[in-house]
Amino acid sequence: MSDNRWIPTCVVAVTAVLMLASPRARAELPFRLVGASARALGMGDAVTALGLGTAGLYFNPACMSQIRQYSIDAGYGYQSPSAAHNLHISFVDSQTNPEFAMGAGYTLTKSRRKINGVHEGFTVHDVRAAVSGSFGTEGFQFSIGGTFRYLNISGDELTSPYSESIRAGRDPATLTPGEMAQMNARKADPRSMSTFDVGILMNISDLVYIGAVGQNLVTWSRHWAPRRLGVGLGFVYKMLDIGASVDVNFDSRESVKASPSFGIEYVAGGAVAIRAGFDWDRVSYPQQYRVSGGLGYISQYVGIDVGYAHDVAHKENWLIEASIRAFLP
């Protein structure tokens, strides 16, 4: 992969929970980790093996060693209907030392709404720092990386099962014991927590990439930081990238859920990126079937990316991410 065709979009984000609700409820909290790469969003988040540069802070830290670059990126994102706005900034340096990469980032997420007369809102500060290293031969490279994450969450969005049921349009007396237990568990989650991710990546002849990552390996919240296992396969040929990933969530629902995703990217003229993807989110309730697309422009010194996704089964669930990046020599 050449240095000037990919430079990852900004991504440093908050870990978000996939919602919990009654049959009439909608997504109460962000259903995608807010602030994640606009490039990844356009590809259906199928980038466990193709999460280049700063995207590695979010999807797989080993991917920071995938290309040589020094980039700084910043952006804005929005998710509906949780009304979650985010501002994010990050950097990655895998250029200073060809065998060692490092990066860090920060995301601020805020949401405030009034539903059925009940106010809800939250603010999340998400700080990430990561390192990765790579070694191997010309035809095979192995990378390993780790990410430290700190989350601070505040707000009154989850004050009680009573307020959650009101937002869902239900009589609190009709809540089942299982629903009450899940709501009370969310209420009891800590508001500050630290955790970490560990990932690996295998590069076979710059053609096939195989990635795996364990996320939130020390977790204090099954809602804001659920334990997850991601595996991915990437295929790269000239200006075409194809990715497939499976995200296994162990904590957010009552049983383990695996969510597959697929994505494709083609870079026309070495500068204009065209992206499309699909993400079957089996953790959200109800399940989401997100179709996504995106565009990007990359020059030697600057890059711009926009990604958009829409749940075809529930039209109110959509999200957008945009970023601008600066590339240092």
pLDDT tens digits along 188-245: 566 889 999 999 999 999 999 999 999 999 977 777 889 999 999 999 999 999 999 9
pLDDT score of 171 more than 80: no
DSSP 56: G
Report the alpha-carbon distance of residue 238 to residue 3 in Å, rounded. 13
pLDDT at 37: 86
The C-alpha atoms of residue 58 and residue 33 are separated, in whole angstroms, by 8
Note the pTM of the prediction, 2 decimals.
0.81
Burial of 99 (0-12, 13-18, 19+ CB in 10 A): exposed
CATH 3.40.50.150 for domain 38-327, yes or no, is: no
- Span 80-109, average pLDDT: 92
Which backbone phi and psi does 154 adopt, to 5 degrees?
-140, 160
Question: CA 65 to CA 135: how far, in whole Å?
Answer: 10
What six digits make up the tokens of 125? 């500060």
Instruction: State the pLDDT confidence band at 156, using cuts at 50, 70 and 90.
Output: low
Q: State yes or no: pLDDT of 247 exceeds 60.
A: yes
Please report which confidence band the pLDDT of residue 20 belongs to, taking 50, 70 and 90 as the band edges: very low
Q: Are 101 and 116 in contact (CB under 8 A)?
A: no
Residue closest to 124 by CA, chosen among 89, 161, 92, 87:
87
> Average model confidence (pLDDT) for the chain?
83
Stretch 256-263: mean pLDDT? 97
pLDDT at 328 > cutoff 70: yes
pLDDT at position 31, please? 67
Token output for 70: 């020094």
Going through the chain in order, the beta strands assigned E by DSSP cover: 70-80, 84-97, 100-115, 118-136, 140-155, 192-204, 208-215, 228-237, 240-249, 257-268, 272-281, 288-298, 302-311, 318-327
Q: Would you place residue 179 in the very low, low, confident or very high pLDDT band (cuts 50, 70, 90)? A: low
Name which residue leads in pLDDT, 16 or 207: 207
Higher pLDDT, residue 114 or 57: 57
- 8-22, 166-180, 305-319: least confident range: 8-22
pLDDT at 253: 84
**How far apart are the C-alpha atoms of 297 and 307, rounded to whole Å?**
12
The percentage of residues in the chain with a pLDDT greater than 70, rounded to a whole number, is: 78
Highest mean predicted confidence (pLDDT) among 9-13, 15-19, 36-40, 115-119: 36-40
Cα–Cα distance between 227 and 218 in angstroms, integer?
Answer: 8
264 to each of 34, 46, 81, 97, how far by Cα in Å? 21, 9, 27, 30
**CB neighbours (10 Å) of residue 301?**
10
Answer for the pair 8, 51: CB distance below 8 angstroms, yes or no.
yes
pLDDT tens digits along 125-150: 999 999 999 999 989 999 999 999 99
